[in-house]
Amino acid sequence: MISTSPIRTRFAPSPTGLLHIGGARTALFNYLFARHHGGQFLLRIEDTDRARSTQEATEVILKGLDWLGLQPDEAPVYQSSREARHAEVARALLEKGLAYRCYASAEELKEMRETAMKEGRPPRYDGRWRDRDPAEAPAGVKPAIRLKAPREGVTEVDDLVQGTVRVGNAEMDDLIILRSDGTPTYLHAVVVDDHDMAITHVIRGDDHLTNTFRQVMIYNAMGWALPRFAHIPLIHGADGAKLSKRHGAVSVLEFEREGYLPEALCNYLLRLGWGHGDAEILSRDEAIALFDLGGVGRAASRMDYAKLTHLNGVWLRQAEDARLARDVMRRLAEEPGLVLDEAAEARIAALMPALKERAKTLVELATSASFLARRLPFSMDGKASVIMTDEARVMLASLAPHLAETDFSAAGVDAALRAFAETSGKKLGQVAQPLRAALTGTTTSPPIDATLATLGRAESLARIAAATAPPSES
């Protein structure tokens, strides 16, 4: 039975670790698919594994999704709050005769595994309590509840990415749905929650494909409509190996720290494993309009930082200047020796069109903007000090009055610099480089006219004066 209800998808992370980019892409695909169909995107925190789940990890997931702009349409569902319901469904299956109590002890299970291994069979539960009279139950032993899985025929899943996949039922054993301590197993909880949350499409990593067959058996036993499944290939590192901490910045929030824009990361993750003709740069709205599961490839994709950084540069140039200036201010707050007042923010915003042309990340942008918030006196970097010769000091001292006479517009200072270069027989660059060193303490900045105009008359002249003053004796 296939559901025809309004589209509802979910992202169901376990809060046992970081929100890594594989998870972020799964969330993105679920979000885009729901939006494309005018449906809802939900979030379920799968925190049934109490020992490994942490509040901190939950917060990192929520923060990461928020940063990516993938907020769910309803309040998050915490799986741990639904244990009573998971147990209720397990009991319903018992009553239907489609599940049974299993009293096998840990030793028995171990022995079963060892025998299977010795005989070269996959370790499976042998079904010893499946048809046994419950009257034979050992006293004082709390049973686990197992699903009476079909033993004949095949279980088939018509996956929206993988195509039709099937497994012979003889290859699967009777899975535990409720442990002897009354807690649900993960496979069971997911099915009950997806059903109760009216999820129509389960889009998740293909490492869950084998779980799907077992989950389908639970749906079938309950007589519940199956959702559609779409198992998307995993993301591998640049070296082709499964993505792990070894590959560096894999937490989504680490990308934020490294200066990536969320829209760039989403664009990158979308294109990683999904294609639509040649479309490379896609806004959120375009992605929503175009996204379909048919465009998801079947091969694992490889993380390509160079491509991500390129996309980030593209999105940076399209981003609003005031927003970038705010971000730069936040990043600069961690650096000593800067004056981060409104005037600094205004300067950073004013020079942003030129600054963002040269940066690929927000970290680079902050570095290149920091001179605008420097407080006098400041030191020069190595290259700038080399340029600041005695001759350069003398030249800047005689240039200053000419600049002071201008209106300090970019055009005004440009005309004064050209005239000064011409009368002193220098190339414009020979004037501009020492001037840049004096104004910024570095040898790179946006065009010198824009740099002067942004710093303004008082600050520019003060910086030139400080640079031309003879070095102090101390």
- List the catalytic residues: 245
Q: Is 70 in the site for ligand GLU (CB under 6 A)?
A: no
Q: Is 233 in the site for ligand GLU (CB under 6 A)?
A: no
Select 22 or 313, whichever has its Cβ closest to ligand GLU.
Answer: 22
Q: Is 372 in the site for ligand GLU (CB under 6 A)?
A: no
Q: Is 463 in the site for ligand GLU (CB under 6 A)?
A: no
Nearest to 303, CA basis, from 11, 30, 25, 68: 25
Q: Give phi and psi for 194, each to the nearest 5.
A: -60, -40
Return the H-helix or E-strand segment holding 232. Answer: strand 228-232
Select 226 or 452, whichever has its Cβ closest to ligand GLU.
Answer: 226
Do 369 and 349 contact (CB within 8 A), yes or no? no
To the nearest whole angstrom, how small is the minimum distance from the Cβ of residue 48 to ligand GLU?
A: 9
Select 29 or 100, whichever has its Cβ closest to ligand GLU.
Answer: 29
Q: Is 358 in the site for ligand GLU (CB under 6 A)?
A: no
Residue 140 CA to residue 280 CA, distance in Å, equals: 64
Q: Is 271 in the site for ligand GLU (CB under 6 A)?
A: no
Residue 166 CA to residue 172 CA, distance in Å, equals: 12
Interface residue with ligand GLU among 208, 307, 317, 358 (CB under 6 A) is 208
Q: Is 252 in the site for ligand GLU (CB under 6 A)?
A: no
Question: 425: which DSSP letter?
Answer: T
Q: Is 204 in the site for ligand GLU (CB under 6 A)?
A: yes
Residue 189, Cβ density class (10 Å: 0-12 exposed, 13-18 middle, ≥19 buried): buried
Q: Is 352 in the site for ligand GLU (CB under 6 A)?
A: no
To the nearest whole angstrom, how small is the minimum distance from the Cβ of residue 462 to ligand GLU?
A: 57
Supply the DSSP string of 116-154, one letter for each residue: HHHTT-------TTTSS-GGGPPTTPPPEEEE----SSE
Residue 9-28 contact track with ligand GLU, rule CB under 6 A, x = bound:
---xxx--------------
Select 204 or 236, whichever has its Cβ closest to ligand GLU.
Answer: 204
Interface residue with ligand GLU among 18, 32, 190, 355 (CB under 6 A) is 190
Residue 108, Cβ density class (10 Å: 0-12 exposed, 13-18 middle, ≥19 buried): middle
Burial 16-30, CB ≥16 within 10 A → b, else e? ebbbbbbbbbbbbbb
Q: Is 199 in the site for ligand GLU (CB under 6 A)?
A: no
- Identify the bridge partners of residue 156 per DSSP, sorted by sequence position: 166
Q: Is 262 in the site for ligand GLU (CB under 6 A)?
A: no
Q: Is 46 in the site for ligand GLU (CB under 6 A)?
A: yes
Catalog residues that contact ligand GLU under the rule CB under 6 A.
Answer: 12-14, 46, 190, 204, 208
